[in-house]
Amino acid sequence: MGLDFSAVPDYAGFLWLGVIWTTVLTVCAATLSFFAGIAFALITLYAPRPVIYPVRFFAWLFMGTPLLLQLYLIYFGLSQIGIHVPALIAGIIGLGLHFAVYNADIIRAGIVAVDPGQHEGSRSLGLSRLQTFRYVIVPQAVRSVTPPLGNNLIALLKDSALVSVLGVAELVHAAQLAISETYRPFEFYIAAAVLYYALNILLESALRFVERKVEATR
């Protein structure tokens, strides 16, 4: 009885592997959420109505349902109709799309805040509409909304723990494997919490560095 952390070092390999897969999952899902968020923002602002309405419905659906349910639908639901998605890919898609709709709202606000004269000036310089968005409007919008995008990235890192329900060997799943052999849940969940906190600190430091660089370019 009582706490005994002596078993934790014996399973350090499990936990570090979980850290690696958590990092891979977070980076891939964050990349998807960022670029999909930009695409959703541009569609809702400038696409024809027949295109806007399905995207708005998709955003409403993902904002109004729990992330865990979305992961179940992607992994277990699609397999029922013959679409088999590997657990890691399902986790990346679920996390990426879930946070993409929130990023889209943030990026859309950033695009709207860009001075309309930037559009006119870019077109007068001979840039096409696509080039104007790619090189002028979207970079300015993203720079202005870096802090809230960073907050979503931190939330994504924490919510990556939900992917453990799909069997992905991320940090929580690694802790659960160790617990199944040692029957020491409290010790290994504390170890996982410490590692998550360390990842969070590293991510926050990286985001502060990016924000300083962005401020320097304004």
In the chain, the domains with their CATH numbers are 11-216 (1.10.3720.10)
From the list 169, 168, 173, 200, the residue with the least C-alpha distance to 188 is 173
List pLDDT tens digits, range 60-97.
999 999 999 999 999 999 999 999 999 999 999 999 99
Is residue 215 a contact partner of residue 41, using CB atoms and an 8 Å limit? Answer: no
Question: pLDDT tier at 131 (50, 70, 90 boundaries)?
Answer: confident
Eight-state DSSP code of residue 217: T
List pLDDT tens digits, range 133-163.
888 888 888 888 999 999 999 999 999 999 9
pLDDT value at position 32? Answer: 97
Query: pTM for this one?
Result: 0.91
Question: pLDDT tier at 120 (50, 70, 90 boundaries)?
Answer: confident
Greatest alpha-carbon span in the chain:
76
From the list 149, 126, 138, the residue with the least C-alpha distance to 203 is 149
Token pair for 126 = 């001979």
